[in-house]
Amino acid sequence: MTARMQVRHIGANEAWQLAAAFERPDLPDSLQVGVNIYTDSEPDLQIRYEHLTIQPISSAADCESD
């Protein structure tokens, strides 16, 4: 599995550019991922997620695959 990070300037009408790619042969081809965003100052980063669903969990067991 290859994880790719892409970037472009905020508000720009430009193509996404590959910032980094990480080969992870230890991970399956399909993953469930989460979002973690935090800051202790004025944020200078905007992130957009497509097809993102956030659901509450009641315990860590909710994160285990069947």
Q: What is the pLDDT of residues 26-35, one digit of tens each?
A: 988 777 776 6
Residue range(s) defining the domain that contains residue 30: 1-56
Q: Determine the pLDDT at residue 59.
A: 78
| Number of compact structural domains in the chain | 1
pLDDT in the model for residue 25 = 92
- The whole-angstrom separation of Cα 66 and Cα 63 is 9
In a domain, 66, yes or no: no
- DSSP letters spanning the chain: -EEEEEE--TT-----EEEEEEE-TTS-SS---------SS--------SS------SSGGGGS--
What confidence category does residue 55 fall into, taking pLDDT thresholds of 50, 70 and 90?
low
pLDDT in tens, 15-54: 888 888 899 999 887 777 766 767 788 777 777 777 666 6
Indicate whether 8 belongs to any domain: yes
pLDDT at 17: 86
pTM of the model: 0.45
